[in-house]
């Protein structure tokens, strides 16, 4: 716990919709003081309306290290420290190799890898001993899926970064893990870049491939983050935890 509040403090990047939003709600219910970030003014405003009043909603574009700097200063000013950083902001769009251009590649790596790394770097001085860092990965690292090469590469980079950082930060009492969801029903599905009929087909066929027979919910992932943030997970670091309904085991 930090010095300026009796509550543990959690930062959720990309906390304005989907998994991040559900996790912000879960952590708030768990007793955390919560800050969330996003970059889109509409979703930031919508998050402000639906999240509990005392959740802090901040604009910080994960592509811009200067925004991470300002974010860290704001967390410091408000709370003086941090007990959990959930580095969840991310994007993912389908593209066959021929359609991948530099802008596509850069956007994915800038948000999913560079953004997560530099956000952690900037908030690192605020993380107290006993705190946790959780990165957002994806089951796609385990699977070969067509049209998904760039996105999978970003999540592979994250998984690899987590193992190094877990060892590097362990002497400071900071645990670092990655939570890797399978398909989860969030606004991300509408951003995949699939035409309407293909998206409807994608949604319909997902459960067929999942041993537990349904697509994941944002709350399924939020509960895992909540567990990893809790003292019950105090001996867990450097792991990649799949929340995929058995998808990867069944392949």
Ligand X SMILES: NC(=O)c1ccc[n+]([C@@H]2O[C@H](COP(=O)([O-])OP(=O)(O)OC[C@H]3O[C@@H](n4cnc5c(N)ncnc54)[C@H](OP(=O)(O)O)[C@@H]3O)[C@@H](O)[C@H]2O)c1
Closer CB to ligand X, 45 or 170, in the complex:
45
Q: Got the DSSP string for 5-70?
A: -SS-EEEEET-SSHHHHHHHHHHHHTT-EEEEEES-HHHHHHHHHHS-TTSEEEE--TT-HHHHHH
Residue span binding ligand X (CB under 6 A) among the ranges 72-80, 176-184, 196-204, 234-242: 176-184
Q: Is 245 in the site for ligand X (CB under 6 A)?
A: no
C-alpha dihedral sign at 247, 249, 250, 251: positive
Structure tokens at 218: 């944002």
Q: Which stretch binds ligand X (CB under 6 A): 34-42, 50-58, 200-208, 231-239?
A: 34-42
Q: Interface with ligand X includes 14 (CB under 6 A)?
A: yes
66 lies in the site for ligand X, by CB under 6 A = no
Is 235 in the active site? no
Count of residues binding ligand X (CB under 6 A)? Answer: 30
User: Which stretches within 170-246 are classed as H helix?
Assistant: 196-209, 218-229
Longest dimension (CA), the chain: 53
The reply on whether position 39 binds ligand X by CB under 6 A is yes
Q: Residue 210 and residue 250: Cα distance in Å, rounded?
A: 7
Which of 91, 95, 162, 165: binder of ligand X (CB under 6 A)?
Answer: 91
* Active-site option among 151, 161, 174, 245: 151
Residues annotated as catalytic (active site), given as ranges: 151
**Binding-site ranges for ligand X (CB under 6 A):** 14-20, 37-40, 43, 61-63, 88-92, 111, 136, 138, 181, 183-184, 186-188, 191
């Amino acid at each position: 716990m930090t010095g300026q509040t009796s509550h543990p403090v959690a930062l959720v990047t990309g906390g304005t919709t989907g998994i991040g939003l559900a996790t912000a709600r879960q952590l708030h219910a768990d007793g955390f003081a919560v800050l969330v970030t996003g970059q889109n003014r509409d979703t930031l405003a919508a998050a402000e309306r639906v999240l509990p009043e005392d959740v802090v909603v901040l604009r910080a574009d994960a592509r811009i290290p200067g925004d991470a700097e300002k974010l860290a200063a704001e967390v410091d000013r408000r709370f003086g420290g941090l007990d959990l950083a959930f580095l969840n902001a991310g994007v993912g769009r389908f593209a066959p190799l021929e359609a991948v251009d530099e802008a596509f590649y850069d956007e994915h790596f800038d948000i999913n890898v560079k953004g997560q790394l530099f956000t952690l770097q900037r908030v690192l001085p605020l993380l107290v001993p006993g705190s946790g860092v959780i990165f957002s990965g994806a089951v796609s690292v385990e699977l070969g899926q067509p049209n998904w090469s760039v996105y999978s590469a970003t999540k592979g980079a994250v998984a690899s970064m987590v193992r190094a950082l877990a060892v590097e930060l362990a002497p400071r009492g900071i645990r670092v893990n990655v939570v890797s969801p399978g398909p989860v029903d969030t606004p991300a599905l509408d951003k995949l870049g699939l035409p309407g009929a293909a998206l409807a087909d994608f949604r319909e066929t997902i459960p067929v491939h999942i041993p537990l027979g349904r697509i994941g919910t944002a709350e399924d992932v939020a509960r895992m983050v909540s567990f990893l943030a809790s003292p019950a997970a105090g001996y867990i670091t450097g792991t990649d935890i799949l929340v995929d309904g058995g998808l990867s085991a069944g392949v």
